[in-house]
Amino acid sequence: MSVEKCVDFCTEKELSLAVLAGDRCLCGFPTPLFSLHEMEDEEMCLHRCHGEEFESCGNDKYFVVYQTQVQDNRCMDRHFLPTRSKQLMALASFPGAGNTWARHLIELATGFYTGSYYFDGSLYNKGFKGERDHWRSGRNVCIKTHESGKKEIEAFDASIVMIRNPYKALMAEFNRKYGGHIGFASQAHWRGKEWPEFVKNYAPWWASHTLDWLRYGRNVHVVHFEELKRELFSKLKDMVLFLGLEVAEDRLLCVEGQKDGNFKRSGLRKLEYDPYTPEMRASIDELVMTVDAALKKRNMAGVPKEYRPTSR
């Protein structure tokens, strides 16, 4: 037995996990009983392979797990809701806060399409088939919106509100505005007049968006982008339950292997300098604390510590 033999064997079987247990090779998918969430100390697995003395193959008690090239496809099927929903559920966020990524996760986790208050042809072409439906059609599990007016918010019966660190959200939206969904703004845009003008106009909107949904939203479930990234399984499970759907754990485990989708930038492009001036930071920090206070007033957890001015 060797790592290469086991991985090749499981790839041929079209299964996504290759599991080494001493001289045995097991293949399969993650399951609630074998979720890969509880990692052991790697030293427990340092049992040499019979076929390759420099590799670890684990033993009967501690398995070494590799992912093969085969995709876990148990969460790839998606459909419109079988019966039209009488409740309109919003997936609301400030632009750049991960709304499209959250839609991708929700569709995989539930098996149902998400809709949109807008129509974005590029998103439709990438597989978001609910994009073309009217937002009131009732055929989608939730509706993407960046709106924050009283009338627009009160049109929904309940909402998942996505919040992201404003420093990251502003940069992500600036990149989208000048570089497309997965592109990046040019250095000329960052160093020109566009960036300070953008921060001046958009930073207050970052705060007012959340404040308005907390004020006018009927039933609000807040999700922080950073916490969703860190605790994908549990946070996504909460979102599915909030949408009034049953949780299929096999689908959630599958989502972890498909979590990035087609609309995730490969990290924010590192600039050679900090684009935020001290004046910008002072203003944004004040907005962060305003949102933090509003969340706590609603008996919700405040903003994550990485948003807070004292964390820098």
What span, in angstroms and rounded, lies between the C-alpha atoms of 57 and 43?
12
- Asked whether the whole model's pTM tops 0.85, one would answer no
pLDDT of residue 312: 44
**pLDDT tens profile 67-86:** 898 988 889 999 999 999 98
Q: Structural domain boundaries of the chain?
A: 3-70, 78-307
pLDDT of residue 262: 60
**pLDDT tens profile 284-306:** 999 999 999 999 999 999 999 88
Residue 167's pLDDT band, with cuts at 50, 70 and 90, is very high
Domain 78-307 fold is: Rossmann fold (3.40.50)
What span, in angstroms and rounded, lies between the C-alpha atoms of 179 and 237?
32
